[in-house]
Structure formats: C-alpha cells, structure tokens
Structure 1
Amino acid sequence: MSRPIEDYGFIGNMASGALVALDGSMDWLCLPRFDSHACFAALLGEPGHGHWQIRPVSDDFRVSRRYDPGTAILETTFETAEGRVTLIDFMPFTDKEHEVDVVRLVRGDAGTVPMQMRLVIRFDYGLIVPWVRRRDYGLSAVAGPDALQLVTPVETHGENASTVGAFEVQAGQTVPFTLGWRPSHWPERNMADPQAQHARTATEWRRWSGACKFGAGRSDHWHEAVVRSLITLKALTFDSTGGIVAALTTSLPEKLGGVRNWDYRYCWIRDATLALYALLTSGYRDEARAWREWLLRAVAGDPRQLQIMYGIHGERRLTELELPWLPGYAGSQPVRIGNAAFAQRQLDVPGELMDTLHVARKFELERSEHAWALQRTMLNELEREWQLPDEGIWEMRGGQRHFTHSRLMCWVAFDRGIRAVEEFGLEGPAERWRGVREAIRADICRHGWNEAKRSFVQYYGGTSLDASLLLMAQVGFLSARDPRFISTVAAIERELMVDGLVLRYRTDTEEDGLPPGEGVFLACSFWLADAYVMMGRRDDAQALFEHLLSLRNDLGLLAEEYEPRLGRQLGNFPQAFSHIALVNTANNLASAHGPAEQRAEHDGQGEEEPG
C-alpha cells in the first residue's frame, strides 16, 4: 500500500531533490538533475524499485519531524525505549551539475539507539541493478552512465541485492552517510566533510530565507507559510539556468488508481507570471530576473515554434513514454516520463509570456531589447492565430475547442503590448493592436457568455464552467465589480465547489479525453480567495485562505490537488503552482492593494456594465 503523499518531506539543492517518508525511507531521487532517471523509484512502485531507509531497529518508536527553521534541511526524530535520535536529511548546494550529493546525519540525542540502514539502488526508474563494489570509504555502484558513491563509517554488507548496515548511536554522537553522484566514466571523488556541509547549507538557506519581505516583522503562521512556500520554490529552481520545475515528481495521480498521471519535472510558461509576482513581491529580484532570462532563452527563435513548456535547460523535445515495469503510486497506471502536452497548441501561452514581461517592467527589472523584439514578433503571429481552437489551459486530450480562457489570454497579450508602448515608451503599432484587443473582447463577450447560466463558460457554445475564469478580473479584462464577473464567481461557487474548495472543471460531465475523476485543484481555490479580495469579500477570502493552509502537511507542503472525501493530497508533489498561489494570495490579503488588485487597477479597463 502506497504511503499518503502528505507523509513525505522534501529536500533539495536547486539541482535535484528527494522525498523522505516519516519512517526515514527516501523513496524518490533523480540524479543529477530534477529530470534525470530516478535511482530511487519506490514512490511509484515497491521498495525493490529503489529506496534508502535509515530508522531504529525497533518497530516500537514515535516519530516527529520539522524543517530546521528557514532551511530545506529535514529533521526526523525517532523516540524509542532505548533513547532518541534525529535523522538530518539535506542536499548541499553545488555549482557543479555533475557532482550532486545527498547527506544523512544520524544524531544521538538521548540514550543509545540501535539503528539500521537499507540501501536499494536501481537506476533508470527501478529497472537496472548496478554493479556494486566494496571500497575503503563505503561502496561504489555503477551502471551505464551513472555512478553513486556511499561514504560512511558504518560497516555494510550485501543482502538480497541491497546494501544493509547495523549501528548504534549514542547521545552526543553523529553518524554520517553521504551518497554522491558522478558520471560513471569519471574517477571516484573525495567527498566534503558532511558536518561542515550541514553547517554551510544551513547558513546559506537562512541567509536566503531571511531576505523575505513578506509582512516585514511579522512572525505569525501566515509568515511561516509564505517563507516555507518560497523555500520550496527556491529548491525547485534549477540554479544553473533559473528555470523552475512544476514539481519534483512524475505520475503521482490526480485520482487514486486512475490514469491522470503526468510528468511535471519541466518548466511551464504558464507559471511564469504568477511565479514572478510571488518572487518580486517577496523581495527576490535575482530569482525573478533569472526566471525571466530562462524564459527568454527558452522561447527564443521563431514564434511559430513557441511551446507551452520546456526542459530545465530549455529543451523542446519532451517525448512522452510509459514505464510498464512500475505499478504506479497506489496502482495508478500508466507511469509516464516526458509530457506530450509540449506539442499542443495553447493560445493562452503568448498572453502569459506577454504578462510576465510586463510584470518585469512594472517592477523595474532591467530592460531587455531582445525581449521586446520577441514580443512584437509574437504579437504579429498571434494576430493571425487568435481565432483558432486549441487544447486550453488544462491541456485537454479530447480535441481542440474555442476555450474562453485562451481567448482571455490572447486579449491580455495585446493589452500588455499596448501598455508597453503607452507606459514604457517602446515602439510598436499600438493603434492596430487596440483594434485586435477590442475584437477579442467583443468575441469573448459574445461567445464566451452563457445567458442561461449567467456566467462565462469554459468554451464557446458549451455550458460547463471553468475555474480559470476566476482570473478575468485579476488580469484586468473585467472589473471585480462587473456584474458579469460577480455572476461568474457565483456560478463557480454553485457548480465547482466541493467542501469549500474548487474543481478546475467537472470531469464527470465534460469530455476531456480521459476517464472522469480528480481532486479539487488547490491553485484554483487560491484564485477564488483572490477574487474574494478584489470583490471586497475579505472575510470570505481569509476564511478560504485559512482552510487552504490547513490542508498543508505537517511540514507546510502542498501537492497539486486535494481529495476532500479521503482527506488526502493528490497529484505531483510538492507542486510549485500551489505554493506560488499561496504566496500571492497571502500578499493580496496582507496589503490594501495586493498584486492582483494592482494588476486589475492599473492594467484593466474596468468595464462594469454587460455588453
């Protein structure tokens, strides 16, 4: 039986990351990059597909855990009849993409506790058993292009194609384990002192998290939630390029036992604007600048080849494959790597890109003439394509349609282009773009509105609702006081809310090319809180925000979705989009004019009458 997703803690170092369960089992690790083949894949299968567990010998123990404050260093404390130990897990920062380490320190806190370690290395997502050799420092494991070194003073031996070791930890003693990756054709390397690495890693994390400007001086649970979310976003950033992966994992299901299992270890343009807001409003200009620069490099070239997503280095071919040897999390098959959505047409993406660069200018990031040249060329292409059907924000696999949200973001694209000319003095055919913008507005109001529903709907001619329409006021298309927006929010409350949280859309009534069923979408629920703020319903916004905070696991982490009936997190984990939304909603609530309100106030046209 698979462990609940919320039972996992996350460690990372801006190159890769790992998931560690409550019982000290590291069940997911890809080295040396987020999108590399996993060497521990028990998360999507069985322990024999790769894991690394350190725990007391006794089964009778109590466990508690926390992050070392202000860091991504995980501390799991085991209490037994013999005493108490703390397992400290972290990944040291590295400036070498081909040398990535995981460090585990077992610290004795009280008494003398017998401990055990079991290491099962399976390269290529649990498929390949490596050649393991004993070394003076520990062991070496090699298969194909991959090599791992385990450095520890603990004596180990082989047992059933795994490596095991038994040891005791006394109060005041620390027993170290370092697992380091290198290309298999490189010579074995010397590992840095693990306790010195611990001190350096903690210092660096605290220096970074201490720069957070959210609610300066406050130390309440909102501040804690924002800082934890920002640390999570930082740890999901690929330091070499500035790209932010959507999540650490692949194929954690949106429905237990279902087929909605996708690879999220890539960078979506759609996340860019909201991520930029979260970083900039929290005081992290360097990270926002690096994200923008990754974006510009990734999308450079012919605008007709613009993709919705890219690899962490800007790779474009993200071919989707299935891994039949893995049974999947809770039997959820297939397990997929790669993501076929990279080849979809999603006409909201140019709008997201234009909005991201507009936000960068508003926050006075350094100008980029290359960026404006790219934007102008992209708008020329969009001028010819905005009326085409597409797969939409949710990457439907049931055929292309005229999605209202896609048209909304086409409107945003031209609106931001016009404002770049008007507000920042850039050169462009603003008058022509105004004509296109007004044509798109009229098109949305004519075809995206359903009078019987008194709401905008998911796609032209349909009757289904879509939570992405909550963004209409946030992007400035309508005022939050517009009767159409108020009515659309009310319709979403009636039809898409489950136990006070928001579905993306009804998969049981809307054909999207897949079997129905998924949890509520956490980012959409934060969007509803943002809408409440903009509508003046601050009490409702705060109540919803507090409810969403209560869904985080004990470490403050969120997946993509939540299943209210089961009380379980669902989808890939930890999910950047959920944590981005948390930061932005906290900022909206904490200030009289939060980012969303500012965006509507300064960028929107503010129509209040239907037409």
Structure 2
Amino acid sequence: MTANLELAPIGNCQVSALVDEEGGFVWGCVPRVDGDPVFCSLLNGDEKDRGTWRFELEGQVNASQHYERNSAILKTRLEAEDGSAVEISDFAPRYETSGRMYRPVAFTRIVRPVAGAPRLKVVLAPMKNYGEQLAPTNNGTNHIRYLAGPQTLRLSTDAPVGYILEGRHYRVESDQHFFLGPDEPFVGNIRSEVRRMEANTAKYWQHWVRGLHIPLEWQEETIRAAISLKLCQHEETGAIVAALTTSIPEAANSQRNWDYRYCWIRDSYYTVQALNRLGALDVLEKYLAYLRNIVDQARGGQIQPLYSVMGAEELDEFEAEHLAGYRGMGPVRVGNAAYKQVQYDCYGQIVMPTAQAFFDQRLLRMADETDFAHLEEVGEAAWAKHDKPDAGLWEFRTRQEVHTYSAVMCWAACDRLANVAATLGKGDRVVFWKQRAEKIRATIEEKAWREDGEHYGASFENGYLDASLLQMVELRFLKPDDERFIKTFAAIERDLRRGDHMLRYAAEDDFGAPETAFNVCTFWLIEALGLVGRREEAREIFESMLSHTTHSGLLSEDLDYETGELWGNFPQTYSLVGIINCAGLLSKPWSEVR
C-alpha cells in the first residue's frame, strides 16, 4: 500500500504513534517525540515489514476505524471474507495515580475477537538508528525484548510469544493484550492491568474534554483538534512540537523535507492561544514553565526560533541515510538548521502568552514582578531588533530582510508589556513601553506601506505579499475596518488566493516557487473574511477545508490546491489551530439553542 497521510495519532504527552487505516503503527519514536523512530515504515520506502507493528487478519477484506468518543483511544475493526472480525484498541496510558501523572514510554494494544473465528498474524518489527537495522530480540515465556539502541523495549503479552516470533497466523479465541514499554517485568495480571489502563485513560481524556469551552457548531472537529494539539506537548518540560513527524515533503519531490519534532516559539504561541480560547489552561501553564527556562537560559541574549523539547539549543541537521523517505521522496532530515537563524517575531510570541499570567487568576502560578523584570529583557531585545533583517517566519535560508510580520510582533511585545506594567501599577514603565510601541508602529507605517501598490509589503525592502500580513488584525495592530487592511486583504486575495486555498507567498524562495497551499494561511483567509463581514463565504470555505481532513479529523501542513491531497508534516499544530479558531469565530452562539 502506498504511504499516505490517512493516519490517526495516539499518545500520552511522552510518546506518540501514528496508526494507519488498517491499524498498523507506521511512525513512533522513543523515548520521546524527537527520539529514534522505532516505527518508521512511513518513511521506509517500499519496506513496509520493517519499522511497523500491525495485525494481519487472514482473508481480510475490510477495515474501519474511529476514536472512542472524546478520547485518544483508537479503535480499528478488521473483517475477513469468512465473516470473522477483530477489534483493535490502541492507546498510550495516561492517567493520574499516586499523586502524579502516569505516562510511561509505552504503547498498549488490545485485540478482541468480535465475530467468527479470526486468524491473526502479529507483525512487530521495530528498528534502531533511524532505520539502519531491525532491533535484535531475545525472549522469555511471556515477553519479547527488542534491543532498539539505547532504548530496550519489552513486549509483555498473553498472546502466544512463539507465534509472534515466527510470524505465524493463529486462531484468536479470546481477548489478547499487548504492552510494549520499558525493559522491566510487567507487574500484575496483564489482562486486568491493561484493561484498567484502558478504562483510566478513557476517563482521563473524557474529563479533560469535559472542561473545554467549545463552540456550538463543529464540536467534534474542535474536540479532535484540541486532543491532538495536547498530544503535541511534551509534558515533562511543557514544550510543544510543531508536528509529530519529520520529512513529509511539502510537495512531491520538492526537497522541502524538514524535521518538525521540535518546539518553535512561534508555533507554540499559536497553539496555546487556540487552546486558551477553549479553556485548556493546563497546556498554557506547562508551556509557560518551558518559556521561563528558555528566557533564563538566554540571559537577555538572542532567543532562537526553536529548541528541542528539553530546551537544548543545538539541533544540528543531518540526513538519515537508511530511510528512503515518504514514498521514496528523500531526504529524511534529523535536526533543523533553522535554530541558527534569527527570527525576531519570537520576542512577541514569548511576551504575549506570558502576559496572560499577570491577569488570569485561574492559573496555579500567576506571574509576579520578578517575571516582569525578565520579560522586560525580552522587550528590550524586541525594541533593538524590530527594524533589523531576519529570516522571517517562513525561515528563508539564503536571504534576510526586515520582515513586516517580525516588526509587528516586536510592536506587540512592547504593547503588551505596557499592559502588564499597568496591571502592576508601574506607571513609568507603562509610558516607557507605550512610547516604544508607538515608535515601532510609526516605523512600520513608514517602511512597510507601499504607496505604489496600496498595500503593506511582506518586508520593508520589497513590496511582495505574504499571508502573514492578515495577522495584523489578530495582533491588534489594525482593526478589520481599517482602510489599509482592507486594501492589503484585497491585494493578498488577488495574488495569493487559489480558489478556496491560500499560498503563504507566491515569490520564489530557496527552492523555487511554492507548489502547494499552506493550510494555516487558508485559515487566516477564512478568519479575515469573517472579520470583514463576508461571513457566509468564510463558512463555505471553512466547510471546504474540513472536507480535506483525514478520516481522523486532522490536517497536515500543506495541501495540493488542484488535487486536494495533503502534504507536509502531520499532524500540523498550525493547521489544527486554524480549525479551532475558525470554528469559534464562525459558529452560531450557544444562546440559539438555550
């Protein structure tokens, strides 16, 4: 079967896996999201029996899949031509026990025979060192050990170990339980313990969802996007990754293959902003702790665009030579050289989520004057860099300009610092930061506005357009009825809109002209349409975008605007943020049904 992005994630905020439509694990890393992909068949070319974990039903003719309601527990039903069938329940355990969150480096599967006399083969073939070789095994009576490099995994099961090792089909006459986790003896009866894990994990997710403030319309879409965004957080540190994968190309054979398993300050800002709108403060609180460590680490110096989930600064980029790539379209990159870039929008994206901690009394830890002092150091950097060239939010690798979006984000940093100073009663700092924000605004108005085209340019030096200019309203730099915004929006539609989709920019970059629409930019288009009064058009395009989601209700980074095929890393946090934000903006109010 040709690799595709019809995938469903499971996870517990420590590890995650992507499961294909027939219940096969095709991507999953240990001991965390940026670790070695023990399941890597998604990027393994035609070698589908290496780097996978799947159940092959003899005579299979059909497969169907869904999530247990309001949870991250995935159910897959496999049916055979003789009428026999099994249901597979997949999850990573997550629930509170002994006063702490239990989220082991473990994947749990339950196979239940639900019709006839199904015959099944278990294919479990984890790899090591980015696809270099299959993990060597040894085994005991009820377990198999997989020596996956520095991380040894142990499969504990009540299924016949010999059949698994020999790859034989066998008759499944009762429920079978599989726990692939740390190399330590499984404590307790595996049947009862795994079922208890399943029940507790379902309860955790359903209670988490219960606390969300969701719109009246598009509830299922919003809930699924919210759960998937939470799965992108590495809870130990609070970091939020841009996606769970690496090197899914932005377009076929484009070489635009990047590793997104890291924490971009920009992407994380948008993620916590969207989840805040739903009331998911747990994600924000953990991320703010991560940010405080990043700011401390920088000591008033340069903030990088991205860091590892553990806060490591160096993410040297190399190619995994043993993996052929998605549909053979390499390279498969590990690490991301963008960490060396300067992207000055990050200062605003640190200040804005942190500012909430000075106002929101629901938080367990509100920010104080010491935090404000550290945040002012970030503001000083924003002021110093607001009119300096950078790589921009699209991370150009071969050129730098003074990007308008970066300048507006620096303005936002100073503007929000004035708000924080006001709530702390620091009148002199209110004046100080307001004056700086006003000076940055004046510079943007002077340098970014193009009289010849009657629109803002993407940079101070050039008048080309990019979709990030639509964010000037979201950031409160402009109001939606501002004449300059209306003119800029018209120009962006003219140059960047492709039917119901939006390019991020049309100008050639380091790899030539973009070939696919950037999904978050389409959501920015939808938001702008709604804000300028074209609400019905916005709703139509939103519904069109939802029609492109996978069967799991998710989106990747990019979309071929001619064929509708998804491309780019998956699931992409930016795109899921777009679903949440647009649903909230465009939904009918709850008052209509009360």
TM-score by length of 2: 0.92
Pairing of 1:267-306 with structure 2 (within 5 A): 267-301=263-297, 302-306=299-303
For residues 486 and 282 of structure 1, the distance between their equivalents in structure 2, rounded to whole angstroms, comes to: 29
For residues 292 and 426 of structure 2, the distance between their equivalents in structure 1, rounded to whole angstroms, comes to: 18
Pairwise CA distance, 1:105: 1.3
Pairwise CA distance, 1:30: 0.4
C-alpha distance 131-158 of structure 1, shift in aligned 2 (>3 A): farther
Structure 1 gaps, min length 5: 594-611
* Residue 229 of structure 1 pairs with residue 234 of structure 2: no
For residues 517 and 505 of structure 1, the distance between their equivalents in structure 2, rounded to whole angstroms, comes to: 7
Pairwise CA distance, 1:433: 3.1
1:463 match: 463
Structure 1 stretch displaced more, 420-429 or 536-545: 420-429
* Residue 242 of structure 1 pairs with residue 241 of structure 2: no
C-alpha distance 189-128 of structure 1, shift in aligned 2 (>3 A): farther
CA contact (8 A) 2:12 2:103 kept: no
| Residue identity opposite 2:85 in structure 1 | R
Pairwise CA distance, 1:466: 0.5
2:73 match: 73
For residues 417 and 31 of structure 1, the distance between their equivalents in structure 2, rounded to whole angstroms, comes to: 39
Pairing of 1:110-121 with structure 2 (within 5 A): 110-121=115-126
Pairwise CA distance, 1:591: 7.1
Of 520, 523, 527, the residue aligned with 2:517 is 520
Pairwise CA distance, 1:188: 4.5
* Residue 335 of structure 1 pairs with residue 332 of structure 2: yes
| Residue identity opposite 2:314 in structure 1 | R
Pairing of 1:77-88 with structure 2 (within 5 A): 77-82=77-82, 83-88=84-89
| Residue identity opposite 1:138 in structure 2 | H
CA contact (8 A) 1:212 1:283 kept: yes
Of 169, 172, 191, the residue aligned with 1:169 is 172
SS state of the match for residue 213, structure 1?
coil
Q: CA RMSD in A?
A: 2.3
1:127 match: 132
CA contact (8 A) 1:414 1:433 kept: yes
SS state of the match for residue 429, structure 1?
helix
For residues 390 and 138 of structure 1, the distance between their equivalents in structure 2, rounded to whole angstroms, comes to: 53
1:141 match: 146
| Residue identity opposite 1:137 in structure 2 | N
For residues 299 and 523 of structure 1, the distance between their equivalents in structure 2, rounded to whole angstroms, comes to: 27
Runs of 4+ deviating beyond 4 Å: 94-99, 156-159
Structure 2 gaps, min length 5: none
TM-score by length of 1: 0.89
2:27 match: 28
C-alpha distance 579-424 of structure 1, shift in aligned 2 (>3 A): farther
Structure 1 stretch displaced more, 554-563 or 66-75: 554-563
C-alpha distance 591-307 of structure 1, shift in aligned 2 (>3 A): farther
For residues 153 and 434 of structure 1, the distance between their equivalents in structure 2, rounded to whole angstroms, comes to: 66
For residues 352 and 96 of structure 1, the distance between their equivalents in structure 2, rounded to whole angstroms, comes to: 29
C-alpha distance 150-592 of structure 1, shift in aligned 2 (>3 A): closer
CA contact (8 A) 1:55 1:116 kept: yes
For residues 35 and 378 of structure 1, the distance between their equivalents in structure 2, rounded to whole angstroms, comes to: 28
1:205 match: 205
2:502 match: 502
2:57 match: 56
| Residue identity opposite 2:582 in structure 1 | T
CA contact (8 A) 1:527 1:581 kept: yes
Pairwise CA distance, 1:553: 1.0
Structure 1 stretch displaced more, 330-339 or 353-362: 353-362
For residues 116 and 589 of structure 2, the distance between their equivalents in structure 1, rounded to whole angstroms, comes to: 53
SS state of the match for residue 358, structure 2?
helix
For residues 589 and 117 of structure 2, the distance between their equivalents in structure 1, rounded to whole angstroms, comes to: 55
1:38 match: 37
CA contact (8 A) 1:257 1:330 kept: no
String of CA shifts for 1:351-394, please: whole Å, max 9, x gaps: 11122223443444422333211111122233322221000011
Pairwise CA distance, 1:588: 2.0
Number of residues of Structure 1 aligned to a counterpart in Structure 2:
576
2:250 match: 254
String of CA shifts for 1:433-472, please: whole Å, max 9, x gaps: 3333223222222221223322212112323210100001
CA contact (8 A) 1:280 1:363 kept: no
For residues 373 and 591 of structure 1, the distance between their equivalents in structure 2, rounded to whole angstroms, comes to: 42
1:597 match: none
* Residue 314 of structure 1 pairs with residue 311 of structure 2: yes
